[in-house]
Amino acid sequence: MSLFYRVGTEMLRRLPAETAHLTTVRLLKAGLGPKTGIIDRPELHTTVGGLTLPNPVGLAAGFDKNAEVPDVMLGAGFGFVECGTVTPKPQEGNPKPRLFRLPDYAAVINRMGFNNEGLDVFAGRLRGRHGQTGLVGANLGANKDSKDRIADYLEGLSRLWGLSDYFTINISSPNTPGLRKLQGADEMDELLERIAMTRAKLAAGGTNYPVFLKVAPDLSEADIPRVVEQVRMYALDAIIVANTTIDRPDTIGEQWKDEAGGLSGQPLFEKSTRLLSHFYDATNGKIDLIGVGGIGSGAQAYAKIKAGAKAVQLYSALVFKGPQLVEEICDDLSARLKADGFTTIAEAVGTG
């Protein structure tokens, strides 16, 4: 990647975190994004939830909340891009400041609270992608003041059906009070049953689209078999492991221990990878997994794959390493596959 992007990344890091993010999106919309193009190599092809990806490195939700720059980010080399989280109604999110860089730990804490422009704007932008190539997913959430949060997910699914290549049901953010309760056994049963019924009606008109479930890294190991069984029962297509954590590991400084919000980046890597491995064991490799949490290098992306992921997603590492990271990870993955005697990503999945 050019010196221009390296210098730009360094300059953005000097701005307050949320200002830097908003500035980045504006610059990308102005055409100043990377021009790598989607990285498409035979050895990196992988299939997740029935979708064939040109490479396994995806952009996690949270970067492009309002579907403003999905094609620009595909142009940075990503194999797929997930936009959102989007809620039915626009909402401001939590009070500022709510986004914090932890450069000494290559980490981020956020308590954004699903700030977004709502489904109308989101759907309009996806509609405007008509004819564009590249896989773009929608991460669905619920409004903070909703009387029926499950209905919010159904509305998102219905309104964006036919506009998004896949859907992620995000019930794992720690920044909307009570949202993670939907990961409980009875609550998840109702949620997934209603999603399955809505999806069946929508698919009856033609194309079916994959639906993924995103879980929290703070999920207990004892809950994993139950979650896997519910995903299987209601025919979801993949599980994304995992969102940000409310834990504050000893590896971060004391000044951050009481900062509310979800922690992402390097301190999350070991915890999320361990959870991913447990999910792979529980699924017997029969449900596709996407690994998220602390990926900042090809070695870490490969570790997720060997732990059971058929694809990975990242976001926080871009804050510190810039857009050239995607190409670097893909180059490293190609080299590691070859060194280990694998010709495809599929051969490496779950071998760790």
Please tell me the distance from the alpha carbon of residue 97 to that of residue 104, in angstroms, as a whole number. Answer: 19
Active-site annotation holder among 146, 164, 173, 277: 173
How buried is 259 (Cβ within 10 angstroms: 0-12 exposed, 13-18 middle, 19+ buried)? middle
Please tell me the distance from the alpha carbon of residue 308 to that of residue 350, in angstroms, as a whole number. Answer: 4
Does 283 sit behind a cis peptide bond, omega within 30 degrees of 0 on the bond before it? no
How buried is 184 (Cβ within 10 angstroms: 0-12 exposed, 13-18 middle, 19+ buried)? middle
- 146 catalytic? Reply is no
Nearest one of 271, 24, 182, 143 to 263, comparing CA atoms: 271
CB 238 within 8 A of CB 288: yes
Nearest one of 247, 227, 252 to 238, comparing CA atoms: 227
**Token pair of 252, please?**
């971060």
CA 235 to chain CA centroid, Å, is 20
HEC secondary structure over 112-166: CCCCECCHHHHHHHHHCCCCCCCEEEEEECCCCCCCCHHHHHHHHHHHHCCCCCE
Q: Is the dihedral of CA 181, 187, 188, 192 positive or negative?
A: negative
Active site residues: 173
